[in-house]
Structure 1
Amino acid sequence: MRAPALGVGATLGIPALAAATTWVTLTAWRDFVAQPSSYLDGLAVVAVVVAGLGTLLRWRGAPRAVTVLAQAVAVAALVCYQVTGSPVFVGAPGAELWGSLEVAVDSARTFAAPIGPGAPPVWPLLLVSGAGFLLLVDVVAATLRRVPGAGLVLLAVYAVPSGLLEDGPGAAPFAVAALGFLLMLHLDSREGLRRWGRGVGPSGDDVRWVRTNPVLDAARAGAGRIGVGATVLALAVPAFIPTLGVDLLDLGNRSGDGDIRIRKPVADMRRDLERDVDIPMLTVETDDPSPSYLRISVLHRFTGQEWSSGDRDVAREDKADGELPAPAGMTTAVPRRSYAYEVRVTEDFDSTWLPTQFPAAAVTAEGDWRFDPDTMDFLAADDGDTRDLTYRMIGLEPRYGTDGRFFRDAATGAVPDDMLELPDSLPEMVRALAREVTDEATNDYERALLLQRWFRRDGGFVYDLRRAPDGTGNNTLEAFLSEDGRVGYCEQYASAMAVMARTLGIPARVAVGFLEPDRISPTTWEYSSHDLHAWPELYFAGAGWVRFEPTPAGRVDAVPAYSRVAVGGDADSDDPAAGPGGAQPSESAPTAAPSVTPSTAPREAASGVDDGPAGASGRTILVLLAALAGAVIVAGASLGPRALRRRQRQRRLDDGPEQVWAELRATAADLRLDWPEGRSPAAVGEALGAHLTDHGGEDATSALARIVAEVERGRYARPGSVSTLERTTLREDAGTVTAALEASAGKAARRRATWAPLSVWSGGREPRR
């Protein structure tokens, strides 16, 4: 059965849109793996092959069955080649492909998402599944011409992470996929109306008729108004449902007024530790000579599967607006030192939990930030977050000494009951091991010291992020504590020590935050994503909640002085090799896992030179990749710089004088006008003013003078001086000057500035002074 001929737009547009839309939708699966490129790169090639081959066969009038069969064979050969190195998907390569899928399925069942490079690769499963969806969407939308049915297939792709990932997929893949689907509907509806015959009315040269063409109006009504309205509702309505909420670390979710719940922060912490790029998150200005632990949240409920904070009911009066209550359980006899901190959060750290020192004497932050009196962690009670936030606090450093006089056993009822609760399903070996490790202790303080020393030195543990098990549940805990386990990272160490402390009757919880910042000036420090850490906090009468550090020296080199007290004649040491059973840190214990793309041996073998069928197929793949890359480069070179330049101008003009000055410099660079480098604003203004006098008139010259005055005031005026120029006036002056500069240039210069702006690469900013 042959398909009737289509118009050129539908013949070329629908398959291309189907492939691109499906590929974008498949990016919703990226949170299944730590390295999404492991499957997305291969699917990009599959998308090109499916769309290109299908378009060619349909254009040549091939029967539908032949088209679908040819596409299926090509996809199978391509996927087999990517996984095994051979395009032959029968015989030994087919068996190898099937074996890779079985390994991927087992890995998906065993490890929690996102699956890192240390686990058996799961990308073959995602590759095969994604290729199937790419083929199915093309068949439904382009071959069978049932574009609305293709929407159901795309919805199925998007539904996979919705059902399997707790956080679900992001809104971006949905929005872009919805746009692609609407464009497919538009082309399909216009093609359907075209088959009714020619439109009645004046010729196509009549612009008025084009604007009222009934075919275009019908297409817009069907695919545009209804579709766009539905998409906007799909994206907007969830924002008003109180049970939904996300943030960068997924440390918090708001549900109702002040009812806040933590969602798997340690899992998200591991994801950020495994990032190839170390992302700056906080900058701290402080008089503390060696700042370290900065706490984000506290997890005090252990269910046997995970640690969580449970539900929080935060009172309206407990706000971060100054002085805080005294630290719970800490006697006033404990000497303490206070330090001032000013914290500036980058735009990359989006959290509803406020990183603070613990204990702290005062915290002041703009917005509705509230603290939980039981844990003294801070969280947003409204829609606020930490991005670009600046706040201040006074941190306390207790001086407990090394004689243990402030560490008394906690009395019954001193802390909430959930700080001691353990699930009935907790393995008995955990309780027995805790008693065995602390057998020689005479009080809870000594038991805590022995637990820490056992994890860091005597137990033979090593820190290894790549080989660390996933999760903190009972099964993971039992395997981690067994003699053939004992390899993990801070998540397992903090969880294990807290659980073992509770089995001994010591109140314990897990804290998540930052470990140790990098020093960037004598009083300025920077915390980044690779500084994320977890540690246990134990409660003692007289000392209150106290931090311990069971993570070995492969990650944490030093422990608090109060935790190096001798027990049974043997003191703890920061040297992992000290004492009996000291375990050297693993050589493979970096903070962040290296950039390794999951691979299989067959894929590596396929990289060799071969003139046989595999080599020919490899050359075909390279040609397709080159064509795809060429198309992307052409589109990016044509549209990317122009769009980026527009965004840069909008952002700068909405900012202060320095950014406006940077925009003027960028405009001059784009137009190839002289800009005196290394000169003062007044000198630069004189040079530009001479140019504007000839081309821009008095208005542009006066506007430039006002901008120069604002820049000089910002750079050289005394701190605290107030600007005399309104922000709207500054923006208007900048617009007047840039318009005059552009008017002074020729048409060729303006075209170059529009399509090949130099400032996109140079940045358009003055050198650092």
Structure 2
Amino acid sequence: MRPGRPALPLALLSALVSVGTAWAALTSWRGFVTMPSEYLVPLLVCGLLVAVPGALLRRLDTPRVVVVLVQVLLVAAYVSIEVVGSALPTGSTIDALGRSLEIAAESARTYEAPIGPDAPPVTPLLICSGAFFVLLVDLVACTLRRVPVAGLALLAIYSVPIGLTGSGGGWITFVGTAIGFLVMLHLDARDHLLRWGRPLGPVDGSPWAETNPVADAVQAGAGRIGVAATALALVVPVLVPVLDLDVFGIGPGDGDDDIEIHNPSVDLRRDLEDTEDIPLLRVTTDDPKPEYLRTGVLALFTGDIWTSGNRDVSTEDRATGEMPEPEGLSASVPTVEYESQIETTDEFDSWWLPTQYPASSVVAEGDWRFDPDTMDFLASDEDDELTAADISYSMTAIEPDYGLTGTFFSNATPGSVAEEFLEVPGGLPSDVRNYAQAVTGTATSDYERALMLQNWFRDEFTYSLRRAPEGVGGGTFETFLNEGPEGRIGYCEQFASAMAAMARTLGIPARVAIGFLSPSPIGDGVWEYSSKDLHAWPELYFEGAGWVRFEPTPSRRARTVPDYTRVPVNEPNDLPTDGPTSNPSDELPPSDRPSQAEPTAAPEDEAQGDGADGDGGTDLGQVLTIVAVALLAAVLLVVLLMTPRTLRAGARRRRLAGGPDDVWDELHATAIDLDVPWPSHRSPREVGAALVEHVADDVVALERVLDAVERARYARPGAPVPAGLAEDGATCVAALEAGVTPRVRRRAKWLPRSLRRAGLRAPYENKATVGAGR
């Protein structure tokens, strides 16, 4: 039985529901921007361009490849008009579209969600990604008729904001998407049932006269399955807490939690949107000179940015008192402890708790947990209201006295720290490794190499927040490290990133810390950290000393370096630079030079804080690019798999709709696909005799096809062709397919061998040849 095509209204309704459901799921991305209508309205138009032409083409029995191609062209033209103002696929248009996507991706990496109108727009990225998902859902649900599989695409859409921001689209988005998916299942089940023919209604006068068998079947199938699946998605997180599944924050979350991490520099950026210098923390301490209050650690380096990565933090590791011994710190190192009481302001809305490293004790109210590998403190995701804003907590800080000889700084041994602190990503510019080796060429230990790197940055580079290149990795390294009009100028995150990356290339464990540089005294033993004190620095690991900080940022920003980094070293004679050796401020224009009365950074730079131009962002562009590439590869794979089947089905339709010789060619092609013997160079009657045993009860239909072929070949021109030839041919094809195993049928459908045969009729069967021999 050949499946029938759905009526145009039903086909159009199914297409509209499918793209509408995809659009509803895409509303979960509205948290990425402050004006979601800028991407949702264009995606609504894309949905109409996909649904309406797709339904019409499918109703006309157009090959699937053609349907998808037309939809892609229409959507691509509209997206091009929306993004760059032109639908013509010229070189300039393609270049402009590429630049728009590049700017959008960079904006997504740089700025924190939601991204406002003052930042470079990310809507081109959202529109292109959303259009791809709309096409994908329609392809799977309507063109391929695999509605349940389309649920995976909808899940991918909904998962993007959950993976980036920790929250989905809310109840409205979830309910809208769930209802749309249930309707898709309903329409698909109804379509499958109606393919069996006209619904058989109840007998007149029956007590069930008002019922509809199709509706009953659909309700029992798609409706119940869909509702059950949706209910399980909400109930399972509550009933199975050990899985740590939490759809809408209603799971109890017992056991260890994989706490959702936001880049600490991104959290600090939220406090630095205004150029005003904002007080953030007040510290009361017996430390005569507090400094370097650390907020978080960035241990994962992708090559382009440093992030905190995912942290599996135990419920046992809480900020309730005594802390573990500092990793790698020898007991022979003299230490001094200082007590501190810290109070934060309302403006410090961070999920990270500033502490000094190392610390022997931290006590903070609320579910604050520490990562034993980094000893930074994070708010548990069990308490959505827990932040570092307007709280008070205590800390006992440890200050090691390493001396000025480097005695305690031994090279790290294999396995002494986690491998992630040594990972060097592929694709890192060669300049990073080359400069690291050139700068440290005369060193005899990792400690000397670290000192040489620090001295090189402080002596040969210039600090400027405004004149620094964008980014903290990737191609930025090439500009930042090399000499040139824009080279050797940067801000603290770039110095910290570069030194940590160069240290890793030398085999030294390294990471980047984000926090505060130094506070201002406001009373007897009372100090205040403000937004201008935000800072970044590298931390390197050595046996005996543990994790210690270095200060590569030039003196305009960081006026001093730690005492243990003042050890003299034999610098290489030929450093790879001719950078400035005088005071960096002498090379600056007057507007950038610090005043004589204030040797610290220029007010304009400090007001923004170093974190304000950091890597930041939600990595939206990177995640969407990965998802889009993966799904595009899946679509291409599906298209490649569907192409032979589509071409074969089209050839069968054309042959069965043609004359006797065309129908005979279709039987020959079917025999080739199914490995049914077809005697070569034999007359149709002899071939028919060989096929009799393969068509079983449909011999009569085969006989009528043979009679039509013989009449067409041997009768006088103009002889009438028997009626019903197409039906008889389809019956013979179905009989041949029924006579083989399911495995052979599947192979014939997906990998038809007849497509490789340019001509099917043997010379003896050719009409001209047979006629000449009569």
Q: If the length of structure 1 is used for normalisation, what is the TM-score? A: 0.50
Question: Which of the two has higher C-alpha Rg?
Answer: 2
